Structure formats: C-alpha cells, structure tokens
Amino acid sequence: GAGDSFAAHMTIALAHGLPLEEAAAIAHAAGRCYVKWPHNRPPYPYEIRKDIEPGRGKVLAHSDLPMLRKSVPGRLVWTNGVWRLPHAGHAWILRWAREQGDVLAVGVNTDESAERIRPSGNFILPLAERIEMLAGMEAVDWIVPFAENNPCDAIEALQPDVLVSSREYVKAKNILGSDLVKDVRIAPASPYARHATDIVKELRR
C-alpha cells in the first residue's frame, strides 16, 4: 500500500546518499501519488517530482512520454505552440483544450526551435519564462519542451487521444500531427481579440 511505497522510496533515496529530510519528502510524495490512482499502482518518477514541486515539476522529458501514456487512464489531450508571449487568449484556449479530456499535455518550442520557425524580429520570451507561465496555469497538467521545428516526434511518442489546434493553423492548412491522432479538435475563437503580435506592437509604440 501507500506505506510500502513510502518505505521503498525512503530506502532508495537514503541508499543514494540523500539527506534524511530530502529522502522523507520524496517518500511522502510517493505515498500521496500512490493513493491518487484507483488501482494502487506504483508512482512514476515524474509524478513524484510534480507532487514535490507543482510548478516546475510539470515539465517532462521526451523519454517520459511513453510512461505518461501508460499512467493516464482517461483521455489524454495534446496541444502545442511557441507561446512566445503568454496572454489571456492562451489561457482561454488551454482551458478549452483541458475540457476536451482528462489530462492536458502542452508542447512548447525551445528557444532555438522558436527562432527557426518564427520570422526574424519577433519578440519571444526565453523558454524558462514561457514554461513558468504555462506551469502556473491550472489547466496545464504537463509541459513538454521540444527542440524540433514541429512536435510530431513528441506526439508520436505520447500517442494522445485528442489533438487540439487553434483556428490560425486551420487557415494555413498546417495542423502538425493531425495524421498521428484520430481525434483532432479546433478550438473556438478566443473572446480576447489581442494576440501576442498586437501586444508587442502596442508595447513598442
């Protein structure tokens, strides 16, 4: 049970030379994660990280994606973007995306990837700041940075049930990953009229 999970993680942490306080924090997190799931399965490492640090703990490596797929019993939703200057419209579409399933994973281009796909001169917040903003949104369960120009490798590894795209990509006929996911949903237009480009123009004026 949860006690066994606590004891096992405490033993492993101490065996790796962690201080008692840090080992106990990990063990407590493991116990809390254990009782969250109906079939009492052992917690995955990324679940423990998220329990200990709810914000930054949402960030997943590419190698975590197959495990995340296995750990989600319900509908897993994916959406992605540069999120170059997170704003109210982004918060709105992320909430909508989360409502399409049970867990929302959000892909975000790294700095190098964002610079390659965006025209020169576009203002883009550093990845660390974009992740911090996304992590602070309640609708976002997990964050997946990717260095490629498109998220197809991440989508293929994750195998989400639903892919959510915004209307701008429909107009461009460029919904990346739509051939990898059976259920593709287009988010309605946001009630917030201003986009990142508009905000940057206003700031520059």
Alpha carbon distance 140, 16 (integer Å): 32
Cβ density class 146-168: b for 16+ within 10 Å, e for less:
beeebbeebbeebebbbbbbbee
Q: Of the residues 4, 141, 153, 161, which is catalytic?
A: 4
> Which tokens go with 132?
């911090």
What is residue 14's three-state secondary structure? helix
> Which tokens go with 188?
């309605």
| Residue 23: how many other CB atoms lie within 10 Å | 19
Q: Are 62 and 156 in contact (CB under 8 A)?
A: no
Q: Dump the DSSP string for 25-93.
A: HHHHHHHHHHHHSTT-PPPPHHHHHHHHSTTGGGB--GGGHHHHHHH--S-EEEEEE--SS--HHHHHH
Q: Is 51 an annotated catalytic residue? A: no
- Catalytic site positions: 4
